[in-house]
Structure 1
Amino acid sequence: MTRYPTNETSLTQETVPFPIVIHKSTMQQAVLPHHHQFYELSFYVEGSALDVVNGQLIRSSRGTVVCKLPHRIHETRIMEGRPYTKFSLMFDMDILLESGIEYALKRYFYNDPGSRHPAFIQLSDTESGLMERLFDELFDEYQSDRLFRQAYIRSKLVEILIGIARSQGGVRGLDARGVPVKPPVPVSTPNTAMQGNKITQVLQYINSHFLTDMSLGSLSEQFDASTPYLSKMIKKITGMTFTEYLHELRMEMACSLLISTRMSILDVSGESGYSSFKTFSRVFLRKKGMPPSKYRSKYADPGHDPGSVSS
């Protein structure tokens, strides 16, 4: 877990019974770069800001949904001192696996971290109104102690995720009805905010290349920093050693492949960045409390046909 400012230091089903948190806030200050182990959605209601997600700069305004996968460095910058109002919804994706019905949603949002799912989605005016209503209802229920509160919250989370998924045409310049919308503009300029912080650059690189062979030594040479310094700073910022952090990222990929494809467990091991199947099996058992085969049988959708992915 990052040592950058954050409150939800551990938001998983292993640490809390019902891992979901929602805030609604009006702010006029920046949010410093940080990352965490849970999924986060930000939905802008009013105002505007600049969001940086994994190095991509996004101009966020009303109707912008910013998607932040676990362990992806992100921050929020203010624009000309103007306030912005947004919902911040944080949750463990495994909350969707409890009923089994929502398995496909987890696969959709979380199957290929960093490449398949966009960092932001711009909703149309109509979609924004509907989404604001859903977030308001979820926020109201979250603050209550009503009967069947958890079931209601989960149902609203599913509605929100389905609404976002159905609006994916907005990323291509169209809303769900095919009507053109104006998306926020990612600024294709060098990531100057990251350039001033070498360790953030290193973490950014790890987040983007965790499936490749890497070591503290190779990172030390690439970023012209001593190995002890990198080791110390990675531990300070993430709360994990370099090796633990690398395993954390690779395990998320492995779990996604196990539940969403028919790939053999040996192939999942290789696709998750492990050259040694023995190491993969040992780390998986330690982190998930069960072998990969049991994880797959417990969480995989029996009706899912992965199609082009061979067994």
Structure 2
Amino acid sequence: MEKNAFRYFRKMSQFFGGVQIPMTYFPLVLKTYPNMNSSFPLHLSMNRLKKGFPAHRHDFLEFSYVIEGSGSETINGVKHTMQPGTFTFVLPYQVHELFTDPGSTLVLYNCMFSMDLLMEQGLDGDFSALLDDLDRLTSYAQFTGEDATVLGRLTAEMFVEYTSKERWRRTMLQVKLKEILVHFDRHRREHSAAAREEQSPSRTASSVWPIIHYIHSNYREELTLTSLSHQFPLSVSRISERIKETTGQTFVQFLHDVRIRHACGLLASTDMSVSEIALEVGYGSYKTFSRIFRENKGIVPTDYRKSAGS
């Protein structure tokens, strides 16, 4: 997590006197992490938190697994205990804050990664289905006994793989990531009473995550609010409202953000021409792509590629 972001959040928490700010108006979204613009957007680290971490949100996925210490975490206003064996899966745009108990130090793994790593089809379908049950299932699970031993081993093995330069490193990391998330999803479904309830049509219709997932999967196409309303049982105005509530951005801003994020990865990790990248991420012309890229990043694509390679 970036030092500058930490200083900003500390300053903002002092300014607002600790008052919780509604998600729609939250002051800052963290949008960067190591390797974000590489061909394999994933970063895994082990962190020691003596004073927790201020409230923040980001537009990538993150899991954490506690191995020592005690404290708590609040995700969108819902608080849960953190202790050895606590696994948390934080979705994009969820506001979360970590607290360390007095006299303790929270030691935990943090893995930040792109939603794209879950979108490859497997034998059981698309892993991004993990996002679809946000309304019914918890964002965390407490592992104990043999289950905690297994998850701790998997996370430690993933960390060793991440810090190595072995052949097939990326393949092993993706396998470990999916195995860890499968264990988490099975555990929370088994232990959540809500997971055994039938999902009501109103809940299914109101969930914004299938829409966000659809945008991430189809950003290359000519997406509009009208086309989304044909795909989902919501009106144009309601889809626009839900995207704004969740991401803090308008639909157009969010779509540009997704496209430019992918463009940055291609600029940093491929030899594709800028014109080819413009078409690849959904822009019909180099001129439009270059203008929106500069508005989003502050520099033109060619200069971004030079800086990414330096």
TM-score, normalised to structure 2's length? 0.57
Q: Please report how far the alpha carbon of residue 26 of structure 1 lies from its aligned counterpart in structure 2 after TM superposition.
A: 2.7
Structure 1: 5+ residue stretches without partners: 174-210, 213-248, 292-311
- Given that 2:30 and 2:59 are in contact with CA atoms closer than 8 Å, whether structure 1 keeps it comes out as no
> What is the aligned partner in structure 1 of residue 141 from structure 2?
121
Q: Is the 8 A contact 1:27 1:83 kept in 2?
A: yes
2:6 alignment counterpart? 5
Q: 1:87 is matched with which residue? A: 109
RMSD: 3.8
Greater share of residues in helix: 2
The residue that corresponds to 1:29 in the other structure is 51
Deviation at 1:281, TM superposition (A): 8.8
| Deviation for aligned residue 1:116 | 3.1
- The superposition leaves residues 113-144 of structure 1 with CA deviations (integer Å, 9 ceiling, x where unpaired) of 4x133121111211110000000000001001
Task: Describe the SS at the equivalent of 1:71.
Answer: coil
Change (3 A) 1:270 1:138: same
Judged with a 3 Å threshold, the aligned counterparts in structure 2 of structure 1 residues 21 and 122 are, in CA distance, closer, same or farther, namely same
Distance 1:46 1:164, change over 3 A: same
The 5 Å alignment of 1:150-161 reads 150-161=170-181
For structure 2, list consecutive stretches of 5 or more residues without a partner in the other structure: 8-28, 194-204, 218-226, 241-249, 260-280, 284-310
The corresponding residue for 1:145 is: 165
Q: Is the 8 A contact 2:35 2:42 kept in 1?
A: no
- SS of 1:167 mapped into structure 2: helix
1:77–1:97 distance in 2 versus 1, CA, 3 Å: same
The answer to whether the 8 Å contact 1:97/1:103 transfers is: no
Q: Deviations over 1:31-89 (max 9, x none)?
A: 11111111111111122111111111111111111221111111111112211211111
TM-score (norm: length of structure 1) = 0.57
Following superposition, the deviation at residue 102 of structure 1 comes to: 6.7
Q: Which amino acid aligns with 2:6?
A: P
For residue 270 of structure 1, report the CA deviation from its aligned partner.
5.7
Percent identity between matched residues is: 23
Matched, 1:17 2:39: yes
User: Cα distance, 1:104 vs. partner?
Assistant: 3.1
Tell me the distance in 1 between the aligned counterparts of 2:57 and 2:33. 13
Query: Following the alignment from structure 2 to structure 1, what is the Cα–Cα distance between the partners of residues 148 and 85?
Result: 5
Aligned partner (choices 147, 150, 153) of residue 133 of structure 1:
153
Whether the 8 Å contact between 2:30 and 2:57 is mirrored in structure 1 is: no
Flag the 1:267–1:73 CA change in 2: closer, same or farther, 3 A: same
Which of 37, 43, 54 is the matching residue for 2:65? 43
Q: What is the alpha-carbon distance in structure 2 between the residues aligned to residue 255 and residue 100 of structure 1?
A: 20
Deviation at 1:4, TM superposition (A): 3.5
